Each structure stands twice: as C-alpha cells, then as structure tokens.
C-alpha cells in the first residue's frame, strides 16, 4: 500500500491474528504516512485477552465499540463496555480481557506509533495479506 492513503477500508490492510484476537491497523506510517499516531481495530474473542504489558515510549487510548470486558491499568481494574474510552500513559502496565459471550471490539490508538509493529512481529502472530480472510 502507498503510504499516503487518506481513505482506508479494512480490505486495504493486513489482518494480524493471535490466539486472543484479531487486529487491523488502519493508520500506520506504512499505510497512511502518519508519523504522529497509529490506530486500528481490535477484536477480542469471548473469554480471551492479553497479558499485562507496557508500551514504554507510547501513550495508548482504547475506545470500546461493542461487547464487555475488564480493563486493568496499573493497579486499577474496571469493567468496560461500548461507548467508553480509557487512557493508558506510556510505560504503565495494562491488560484487556473479554468477559462476555460476544466479541469485544475496540479501537486502539498509539502516540507515537510503534507498538503495532511490535505486535505484528510477535512469534505467535499470523499475518494475512490485505483482502485475505483468516479461517474462522
């Protein structure tokens, strides 16, 4: 993809699949040329989530689109659902877990970009080219 796109559809970008969910990074330096932030859609499967981790050099915002989950930021744990947003400062441990029977969908934003590339490079990540749909 050319790094100066203004309109991005899900089929325009690759899909990253992990044992806990699926990600589509719709705004990255490689996709749009954005240098200030990255953004993507994350889908956590029922009962799944990711371990506590940090992004030492990037702040993060999560905006929940659908489903329900548990969000931990530092020592605080709260239930989250559609319409809510959380802010995670750089270097603060956090995790997200889907606590419902349906997928938990949210938008993740990193400022500056970088963590999305680290996720893509994980050994357990399977990367599907743009337009290709992972097996259900």
1-26, pLDDT tens digit by residue? 556 678 999 999 999 999 999 999 99
136 within some domain: no
47 within some domain: yes
What pLDDT, on the 0 to 100 scale, is given for residue 2?
A: 52
Beta strand 15-18 pairing with 76-81? unpaired
7 within some domain: no
44 within some domain: yes
3 within some domain: no
| Range of weakest confidence among 31-45, 102-116, 120-134 | 120-134
- The first and second tokens of residue 76, run together, are 């605080």
Identify the domain containing residue 72 by its residue range: 13-103+113-128
Domain count, the chain: 1
Give the separation between CA 96 and CA 73, rounded to whole angstroms: 9
Please state, in angstroms and as integers, the Cα–Cα distance from residue 13 to each residue in 53, 70, 81, 129, following that order: 25, 28, 26, 7
The domain that holds 45 is classified in CATH as 2.60.120.10
């Amino acid at each position: 993809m050319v790094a100066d796109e203004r309109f991005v559809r899900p089929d325009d970008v690759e899909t990253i699949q992990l044992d806990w969910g699926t990600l589509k990074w719709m705004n990255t330096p490689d996709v749009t040329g954005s240098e200030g932030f990255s953004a993507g859609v994350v889908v956590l499967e029922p009962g799944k989530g990711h371990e506590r981790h940090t992004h030492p050099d990037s702040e993060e915002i999560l905006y929940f689109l659908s489903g329900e989950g548990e969000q931990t930021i530092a020592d605080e744990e709260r239930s989250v659902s559609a319409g809510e947003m959380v802010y995670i400062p750089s270097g603060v441990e956090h995790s997200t877990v889907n606590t419902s029977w349906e997928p938990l969908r949210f938008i993740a934003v990193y400022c500056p970009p970088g963590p999305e590339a680290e996720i893509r490079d994980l050994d357990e990540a399977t990367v599907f080219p743009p337009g290709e749909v992972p097996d259900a």
